[in-house]
Copies of this chain bind each other. A is one copy, B any other.
Amino acid sequence: MTRTAKPACHPVPVPERHFVKYTFLEVDPAWRRLEALQRDRDKTEFAIACADFADGHLLRAFSLVGTRGDCDLMLLSQAQNLERIHEFHVVLAQSGLMKWCSVPHSYLAMTKPSEYSDESRLQVRPAHAKYLFVYPFVKSREWYGLDADERYRIMQEHIRIGREYPSIDLNTSYSFGLDDQEFVVAFETDDPADFLDLVQRLRTTEASRYTKRDTPTFTCVAASVPRALAALDGQPVAELEALR
């Protein structure tokens, strides 16, 4: 119980850290009233911008149709360089589809080794599960007033319970100073019921008392970019059928 916590990290060269960007899009209902041909063209331009970025970077797409009311599609993009994330979104903004979209939710973060666990990853992994559950996370200031050892101790219970659900995979990224939240937490699994049970069980842990904010919570349905686009208007993208 008294193992020493790793010291909070100092600026040392960590070449492998990545920027992670979650971009949630909502399509203007008016776009759905356009001709099918125009919508096809708009989606194709969007898909091409994605394919360009995906050549050399991790890019994942998710549909939120039917799970949320305030957004329709989410793109998770990753790069070692913030400039590259910026450029990708500049190109994306030129696609026909983005000319009818707003971005109701947006989270910028970086990967970073965890103070509490050796299992943390410095890269988001390629798609490997049906669902991704994402939420921005802020801890109470009381949490940060605890000793590092005490925080370490409290987190071990949290981590131990998580390990009892091996089908659920966790990616935590860090947003301190970069965005409104402190962390972006993303769980992957094929079984939402398992995940629901885990989250309910974690409510009774000591760590849970120090949660200040963990909403909005997004249930994201993993999809290829063409499939996520097809879910917007029910039409497959003709030109991109091969990629599905």
> Which residues of A does B touch, CB under 8 Å?
8-11, 14, 17, 19, 21, 23-24, 28-30, 32-33, 63, 65-70, 82-83, 85-91, 93-94, 98-106, 108, 110, 112, 130-131, 133, 141, 144-145, 148, 164-165, 167, 174-180, 182, 187, 191-201, 203-204, 208-209, 211, 215-217, 219, 221, 231-234
Contacts and interface: CB of A to CB of B under 8 A. Distances in A.
Given A98-B29, A131-B82, A217 B65 contact: no
A86 B69 contact: no
Given A10-B164, A65-B90, A90-B234, 12 more contacts: A65-B89, A66-B86, A68-B108, A70-B103, A82-B219, A82-B221, A133-B178, A174-B200, A176-B200, A177-B198, A179-B217, A182-B203
B174 A69 contact: no
A219 B108 contact: yes
Contacts of A104: 69
